[in-house]
Amino acid sequence: MTKLAWIGLYRDKEQKWRWTGEELATNIQTWADGEPLDNETFAATYWHCDRKEWHGVRSDREIPFFCFNLMVDDVKKTWEEALEHCRETHTDLTSLNSETEQRLALSEIQHDHITERVWIGLRFFGDRWLWVNGDPLVYEAWPKGDQEHQCPLRKRCGALTKEGHWENWDCVEKLHFICY
């Protein structure tokens, strides 16, 4: 089954790919072979079984889209404080369920005034990492070769680094955070 959906990536007047927030889309590695074609101005995600690839799509084509609204808060909080704040003012701490969501979150935190890592809604409970909003943990972005997150003693809260990796971090540290 093939599904297309707009993801907020477009080609600007200088023929550079940008996210809708105007952030330059660098190091895109999820294009399908032969993509994008020269006459396509927007991009859509193509799902086929377990394969996720981006295909360029003409901007006049009507296809579904998904909305992933992220808010990076300017106040630093502990993980618990961030969770409470997000639940009171937005929906929850964000879960990142795909490479696309991960990239969208990264584009939001690439600012000098944002801490090197930000809290996300990932928490180690019992013997596994879980998203606090109940989403299944199907996508992971732990650094390759890093084993520290497998059975953390103190660092039981998840953070996203500006390099795009997840880290287990001490929950009492005060960091910026992402709500959705």
DSSP 5-62: EEEEEEE-TTS-EEETTS-B--S---BPTT-S-TT--EEEEEEETTEEEEEEE-TT--
Asked whether residue 86 carries a pLDDT value surpassing 80, the answer given is: yes
Residue 96: HSE in the Cβ half-sphere, 13 Å Cα cutoff? 25
Residue 172: the pLDDT is: 97
Per CATH, 3-57 and 71-179 having the same topology is answered yes
Q: How confident is the model at residue 101 (pLDDT cuts 50, 70, 90)?
A: confident
* 71-179: CATH topology: Mannose-Binding Protein A; Chain A (3.10.100)
Asked whether residue 45 carries a pLDDT value surpassing 80, the answer given is: no
Q: What is the pLDDT of residues 129-171, one digit of tens each?
A: 999 988 888 889 999 988 888 888 889 999 999 999 999 999 9
Output the six-digit token pair for 44: 């859509």
* 0.75 exceeded by pTM: no
- 3-57 under CATH 3.10.100.10, yes or no: yes
